[in-house]
């Protein structure tokens, strides 16, 4: 036991970057996992995918223009979420096609810009993140975003739940569904931008889907789903960080792998929906 | 006193075709009105137009004498139970409590009175024993009761029910009818969208027969004649534009 304790504490005592990385991992883990529950029940999981890819041209442009990266990222992220909403509502295209068109277009634009400014931007770091290079400024940005998003979710909890469950009923009841829709999109984009340095824009998709989905298999209640998701998200973030530190692996990828591993565990062992339970039910149809 | 719902020459389009055309009617307060017609006759479209969910191509709608957005807290709506995802991670009482989401009280937690109303509505519909059950485990009739209890908890003046008798058991049907009678005794207004004709005589005061336009409307005995019924149900359907 003391050995395990040393294993966990030592890197943080010795290295400043490890302390920042751990704290950022906790904030990003919490933020993404809480939001993932709402994305899952609202069936917006793929919107997270689309927006995170659309952030790339913004990051590239910011480097070109010498702006802080989150300004451009937020801008193109919001622009594409509005574009998806427009295509979906004003044309015959459905959500899936609208998202596919917008995010691949934006992503391609980002890659094209980065191929021009090669050398100044590390594409690999943007795509997969590098939590070990997170600066104090990045950390403050993440914390501010995290606190704001979680605050909004707490304040609007009842309205968001009603809207996600029964959008028509919510609108009739007087919940301003349109504003809520844009507010959620804004929060999603902000979360993706805040997680960019840590897990990268490809891996953040996983952090925005997997913890919530894992928890969804284990419980029937939204509050317990959120708490479970929080635990899984943070465990994946911190576990992934230590794994990558000791085995010298890409941090974002290991975080995602840990999250996926937990998901597989809950898929197999979930008391109500797990594979084991299903096999038992199949063998014994009378129960 | 002004009507519960007053429709003045309204036309509503749905998916590019006029689902309801030039409809004028006054639905009085304190009565139970059935809106009847075959599938695709514009019943649900009409309901959605009254609730401000679809834009009007022409005409005006007044609910309790005012535009709908000013009377949201005095109206309760029961959607078809197929319209939501019942695998949502919620408990029965949490759905019923959504009825207490009123425009002025969205951000505060449930009050003591809210909780009392939620409990009373669940008791009325016989689902208080299911209060802490996940909604995914309910039967069709129980799901309908949850939605009805949610509407009851709202303490509205006007109740709009979309196909409440669809896919429910006899016991649930009995409770719905009892509730409609009680609402009428308490001078509330009930409007029910309904596709079956056989029960209209005993349970409703007024009937509106609809097939994209108003076929007939008035007290049940007058509105329903073999002639109007035939017109409503046998007329060829208008072409569907896509």
Closest-approach residue (CA) in chain A for B75:
A173
DSSP state of B208: E
Alpha carbon distance A143, B86 (integer Å): 35
Is the per-residue pLDDT at B221 higher than 90? Answer: no
Alpha carbon distance B212, B19 (integer Å): 5
A118 touching chain B per CB within 8 A:
no
Nearest by CB: A166 against B52, B75, B79: B79
Q: Is B19 helix (H, G, I), strand (E, B) or coil?
A: strand
Average pLDDT over residues B10-19: 81
Is the per-residue pLDDT at B109 higher than 60? Answer: yes
Alpha carbon distance B140, B143 (integer Å): 5
Closest-approach residue (CA) in chain B for A226:
B89
Alpha carbon distance B150, B112 (integer Å): 16
Alpha carbon distance A232, A222 (integer Å): 15
CA distance B69 to chain A (A): 8
Residue A210 corresponds to which tokens in the numbers above? Answer: 């997997």
Helices (H), B35-169: 43-50, 92-97, 112-124, 140-153
Tell if the CB–CB gap between B77 and A172 is shorter than 8 Å.
Answer: yes
Q: ipTM score of the complex?
A: 0.89
Torsion of CA B148, B152, B154, B156, to 10 degrees: 110
Is the per-residue pLDDT at B111 higher than 50? Answer: yes
Torsion of CA A32, A34, A38, A41, to 10 degrees: 100
* Closest by Cα among B200, B131, B136, B213 to B165: B200
Average pLDDT over residues A155-184: 92
DSSP state of B178: H
Mean pLDDT of chain A: 88
Is the per-residue pLDDT at A281 higher than 80? Answer: no
Sequence-ordered list of residues with C-beta below 8 angstroms from that of B161, at least 6 positions apart, any chain: B78, B148, B151, B176, B190, B191, B192, B193
Nearest by CB: B89 against A171, A173, A225: A225
Tell if the CB–CB gap between B75 and A172 is shorter than 8 Å.
Answer: yes
pTM for the complete prediction? 0.88
DSSP state of B73: G
Is the per-residue pLDDT at B15 higher than 80? Answer: no
Lowest mean pLDDT among A129-133, A216-220, B7-11: A129-133
CA distance A115 to chain B (A): 44
Please report the pLDDT score of residue B224 as a whole number.
80
Residue among B45, B101, B109 with most chain A CBs within 10 A, to mutate: B101
Helices A136-155, A157-165: axis angle to 10 degrees equals: 70
Alpha carbon distance B241, B14 (integer Å): 10
Average pLDDT over residues A142-157: 94
Please report the pLDDT score of residue A1 as a whole number.
61
Tens-place pLDDT, residues B162-220: 999 988 899 999 999 999 999 999 999 999 998 777 677 788 999 998 888 888 898 98
Tens-place pLDDT, residues A77-123: 999 999 998 898 888 888 889 999 999 999 999 999 888 877 667 78
pLDDT confidence of B241, banded at 50, 70, 90?
very low
Please report the pLDDT score of residue B124 as a whole number.
96
The helix or strand, by DSSP H or E, that contains position B186, with its residue range, turns out to be none
Average pLDDT over residues A231-250: 91
Q: Is B201 helix (H, G, I), strand (E, B) or coil?
A: helix
Closest-approach residue (CA) in chain A for B90:
A221
CA distance A266 to chain B (A): 17
When comparing pLDDT for B157 and A279, which is higher?
Answer: B157
CA dist A7 → A13, A130, A243, A244, B118 (Å): 11, 21, 11, 13, 52
Is the per-residue pLDDT at A151 higher than 70? Answer: yes
Tens-place pLDDT, residues A198-214: 888 888 999 999 999 99
Is the per-residue pLDDT at B240 higher than 50? Answer: no
Tell if the CB–CB gap between A165 and B79 is shorter than 8 Å.
Answer: no
The helix or strand, by DSSP H or E, that contains position B72, with its residue range, turns out to be none
Average pLDDT over residues A194-201: 85
Report whether A44 contacts A85 (CB < 8 A).
no
Is the per-residue pLDDT at B238 higher than 50? Answer: no
**pLDDT more than 70, % of chain B:** 95
Please report the pLDDT score of residue A284 as a whole number.
64
Please report the pLDDT score of residue B210 as a whole number.
87
pLDDT confidence of B233, banded at 50, 70, 90?
confident
Residue B219 corresponds to which tokens in the numbers above? Answer: 């007290």
Average pLDDT over residues A53-80: 90
Is the per-residue pLDDT at A153 higher than 50? Answer: yes
| A16-282 CATH choice from 3.50.50.60, 3.40.50.300, 1.10.3470.10, 1.10.10.10 | 1.10.3470.10
pLDDT confidence of B239, banded at 50, 70, 90?
very low
């Amino acid at each position: 036991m003391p050995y395990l304790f040393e294993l966990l504490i030592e890197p943080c005592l010795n290295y400043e970057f490890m302390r920042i990385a751990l704290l950022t991992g906790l904030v990003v883990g919490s933020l993404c996992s809480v939001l993932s529950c709402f994305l899952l029940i609202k069936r917006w999981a793929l919107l997270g995918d689309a927006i995170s890819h659309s952030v790339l041209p913004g990051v590239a442009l910011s480097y070109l223009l010498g702006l802080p990266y989150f300004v451009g990222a937020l801008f193109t992220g919001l622009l594409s979420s509005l574009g998806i909403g427009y295509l979906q509502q004003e044309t015959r295209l459905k959500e899936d096609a609208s998202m596919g068109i917008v995010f691949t277009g934006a992503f391609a634009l980002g890659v094209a810009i980065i191929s021009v400014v090669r050398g100044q931007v590390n594409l690999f770091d943007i795509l997969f993140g590098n939590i070990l290079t997170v600066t104090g400024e990045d950390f403050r940005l993440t914390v501010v975003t995290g606190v704001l998003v979680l605050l909004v979710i707490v304040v609007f909890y009842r309205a968001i739940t009603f809207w996600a469950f029964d959008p028509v009923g919510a609108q009739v009841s007087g919940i301003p569904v349109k504003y809520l829709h844009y507010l959620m999109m804004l929060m999603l984009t902000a979360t993706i931008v805040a997680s960019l340095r840590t897990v990268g824009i490809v891996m953040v998709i996983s952090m925005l889907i997997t913890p919530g989905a894992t928890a969804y298999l284990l419980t029937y209640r939204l509050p317990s789903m959120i708490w479970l998701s929080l635990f899984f998200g943070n465990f994946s973030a911190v576990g992934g960080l230590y794994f990558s530190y000791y085995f010298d692996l890409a941090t974002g990828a290991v975080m995602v792998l840990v999250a996926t591993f937990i998901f597989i565990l809950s898929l197999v062992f979930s008391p109500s929906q797990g594979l084991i339970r299903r096999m038992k039910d199949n063998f014994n149809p009378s129960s | 006193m002004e009507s519960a719902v007053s429709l003045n020459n309204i036309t509503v389009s749905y998916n590019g075709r006029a689902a309801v055309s030039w409809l004028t009617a006054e639905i009085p307060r304190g009565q139970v009105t059935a809106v009847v017609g075959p599938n695709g006759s514009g019943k649900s479209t009409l309901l959605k137009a009254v609730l401000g969910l679809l834009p009007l191509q022409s005409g005006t709608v007044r609910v309790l004498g005012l535009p709908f957005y000013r009377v949201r807290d005095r109206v309760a709506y029961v959607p078809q139970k197929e319209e939501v995802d019942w695998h949502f991670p919620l408990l029965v009482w949490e759905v019923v409590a959504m009825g207490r989401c009123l425009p002025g009280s969205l951000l505060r937690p449930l009050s003591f009175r809210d909780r009392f109303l939620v409990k009373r509505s669940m008791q009325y519909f016989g689902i208080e024993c299911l209060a802490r059950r996940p909604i995914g485990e309910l039967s069709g009739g129980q799901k309908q009761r949850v939605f009805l209890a949610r509407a009851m908890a709202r303490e509205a003046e006007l109740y709009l029910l979309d196909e409440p008798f669809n896919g429910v058991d006899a016991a649930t049907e009995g409770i719905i009818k009892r509730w409609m009678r009680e609402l009428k005794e308490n001078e509330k207004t009930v409007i029910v969208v309904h596709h079956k004709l056989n029960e209209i005589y005993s349970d409703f005061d007024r009937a509106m027969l609809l097939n994209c336009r108003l076929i007939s409307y008035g007290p049940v005995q007058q509105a329903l004649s073999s002639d109007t019924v035939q017109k409503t149900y046998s007329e060829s359907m208008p072409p569907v534009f896509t």
